[in-house]
Structure 1
C-alpha cells in the first residue's frame, strides 16, 4: 500500500517547519486520493535527538524503516547557516547508497533568506537524497519563514505546487514505487 511520510529535520518540536510539512503532505494526500486510505506518518527527528547517531537504537531503526518504506517522502528542514540541519544529515547518513531506492522524495526547505532557498534545496539537500537512493521527480519546494507563517500565503503556494504535480503524484502513489 502506498504511504506518505514526513521526515522533519528540525531539532525543535513543535516547529513551523514540521507543521508546514504536514500541511503539504495532507494537501498531497487530498489531491492524490491517498487521504481516503491513510494519513501521512510523521517522523520527528527532534524526538530522537542524539539517538540518530546510534544505528542500534530501536527508535532510530523504526524511524529509518518508516522512511525507507515511504512511497512519497516530504523531507523538511529549516535552513541553518546555508544548509540543512545536522540532525537531518546524521539521520540520513545511516542509510546506504540504495537504501531509499523507490522513494519519491520532496526536499522542503524553510529559509530566512531568499538566497538560501535554492542553495539548500537544490545544491545541498537534493544531492544528499539522491546519494541514499531517493529520487526527486516532483522537484523541490522552498519557502521563506514569512510565507510559512502566513497561512493564506502558505496555502496558496502549496495549492499551486501540488496542482502542478497532481498527475505525477497520483501516478507515483498508484504505483507505490518510482519506476
Structure 2
C-alpha cells in the first residue's frame, strides 16, 4: 500500500510541505509515495468532475496512510484543503486509510485546531485516526523536537493501525 501527503497550503514548496515531509520520514523512515500540493490542481477544485482532481482523490483514497497538512488560516485549516476534502465521498471515502491531521501556526492559541477542526472531517470521510493531530509552530518546528516527540509517542499506534488496515 502507498502513503500520501496532502498539502493544503496555497503556496507551493511551503513550510507546511516541509513539516509534513519531515513527519512522514520520522514516522516511516522514507519519503511518501505521493506528495500532493493542492495548488497544482488549480481551478479544477472549484467544481466536480475534473479529471486531475478525480485522479488525485483516487490516489489518496488508495493510500494506507495519509498526512493531511494545512497552515492555520482564521483559526482553521485552509479553504483550499476544504475544497479537496469535499471531493472525497463521505462516510467511506477514506475507509482503509490511516490519517494524521497536521497543522502549522504562529502561536499556541490554535494548538487544538488539528483535533477540533481537521480530525472530525477526516473521520467523517471514514479515515482511521488513532492518534491526536499534530500542531507545530511554523517558526520552530525544524529544531524544537515536536515531530520526534510525536512519533515517539504515537508512531507505533499509527504504524500498527496502518498494518491492520492493509490486511482488510
Pair 1:16–1:106, CA change in 2 (3 A): same
Q: What is the SS of the residue equivalent to 2:143? A: helix
Pair 1:126–1:169, CA change in 2 (3 A): closer
Q: C-alpha distance in 2, partners of 1:178/1:80?
A: 37
Q: C-alpha distance in 2, partners of 1:104/1:59?
A: 23
Alignment match, 1:152: 143
RMSD of equivalent CA atoms = 1.8
Match of 1:48 among 36, 41, 48: 41
Q: What is the SS of the residue equivalent to 1:19? A: helix
Counterparts of 1:116-127 in structure 2, within 5 Å, are 116-118=110-112, 120-127=113-120
Contact 1:21 1:76 (8 Å CA) reproduced: yes
Q: What is the SS of the residue equivalent to 1:169? A: helix
Alignment match, 1:21: 20
Alignment match, 2:52: 59
Q: C-alpha distance in 1, partners of 2:147/2:82?
A: 25
> How far is 1:91 from its partner?
0.7
Structure 1 runs not aligned, ≥5 long = none
Match of 1:74 among 67, 78, 87: 67
> How far is 1:60 from its partner?
0.5
> How far is 1:166 from its partner?
3.0
Q: C-alpha distance in 2, partners of 1:123/1:171?
A: 24
Q: C-alpha distance in 2, partners of 1:24/1:70?
A: 16
Alignment match, 2:98: 104
> How far is 1:178 from its partner?
8.6
Q: C-alpha distance in 2, partners of 1:161/1:128?
A: 21
What TM-score does the superposition give when structure 2 sets the normalisation length? 0.91
What TM-score does the superposition give when structure 1 sets the normalisation length? 0.85
Pair 1:94–1:39, CA change in 2 (3 A): closer
